[in-house]
Amino acid sequence: MLRQSKRISGKIRISQIIEEGFRIHSELFAIRHLPGTQPFRRYAVAIGRKITRSAVERNHLRRRIYESVRAFEKGGSNEVSCDIVIMARSSTLKAEFGELLTSMKEVLNKI
């Protein structure tokens, strides 16, 4: 799991990033980002009820995405200060962790 200090909290900031943020898309994720207020990257994961109705499955997917972000950060990422909201797509449910990790690396390296 990603540390609490690396996560974005608060509906106001997350909705601001979703509305005004720059967009990057992949097969598994839709990512929005804005320049951040902290000297490091912060992340939030948004999974809608359209993806899966079960809260258990949404939470499991959220934990898998946070773990792939943590692995990306551990590998020595490009430290650009920004706030990132990761939105899962329906194909993310069926993806294996290796696919999640490679797709996450491709998308986050574009920022």
CATH number at residue 51: 3.30.230.10
Q: Which domain holds residue 60?
A: 4-108
Give residue 10's region: left, alpha or beta (phi > 0; psi -120 to 50): left
In tens digits, what is the pLDDT along the chain, a chain of 111 residues?
A: 788 888 998 899 999 999 999 999 999 999 999 998 888 899 999 999 999 999 999 999 999 999 999 998 887 666 788 999 999 999 999 999 999 999 999 998 888
Spatial contact of 5 and 37, defined as CB atoms under 8 Å apart: no
Indicate the DSSP class of residue 90.
G
What is the pLDDT at residue 97? 92
Q: Over the range 76-110, which residues count as b (16 or more CB within 10 Å of their CB) and which as e? A: eeeeeebbbbbbbbeebbebeeeebbebbeebbee
User: How many domains does one find in the chain?
Assistant: 1
What is the pLDDT at residue 78? 64
pTM, two decimal places: 0.89
